[in-house]
Amino acid sequence: MSDYKGAALMFEAMPPAPVLLADRGYDADWFRQALAARGTAACIPSRKGRKVPIPHDAALYHRRHRIENMFGRLKDWRRIHTRYDRCAHAFMSAIALAASVIFWINQGGLSLERFSPT
């Protein structure tokens, strides 16, 4: 299934946003038109087979890797990767906990120097 077909199922539930960053899998004319109707700018690179490429903000698109890296780090957690939780709220709680720990580690939270008496 193409990415934009899955997005069509969730399109109405998406919160409003000024810009949507997406990969080439979301490059469809109807998807771009639906985003424009909502007032959302599309930062989507054109597919290689498109006859007339649609320009996008390359600098803004380059920042998308941070989001992709975060999903990769979350999937390092076995509980999230295999989704042991049956309930959606328990799964979302596990994601929130993992994201908090990842953020804490990236901010230098595991430094033992902060806890050593001086």
pLDDT, tens digit, 9 for 90 and up, residues 10-53:
878 888 889 989 888 888 898 899 899 989 999 999 999 889 99
The dihedral sign for the CA sequence 38, 21, 82, 76: negative
Please give the C-alpha separations between residue 20 and each of 14, 39, 59, 106, in angstroms, as whole numbers.
11, 10, 14, 26
Tell me the C-alpha distance between 95 and 47, whole Å: 32
Q: Which residues of 10-40 are buried (b: 16+ CB within 10 A; e: fewer)?
A: eeeeeeeeeebbbeeebbbeebbebbeeeeb
Mean local confidence (pLDDT), 54-74: 89
Report CA torsion sign: 26, 28, 29, 30: negative
pTM: 0.68
User: The tokens 């599309």 sit on which residue?
Assistant: 42
> Residue 58's closest CA among 48, 66, 46, 68?
46
pLDDT of residue 89: 92
Instruction: State pLDDT tens for residues 71-101.
Output: 899 998 888 888 888 899 999 999 999 999 8
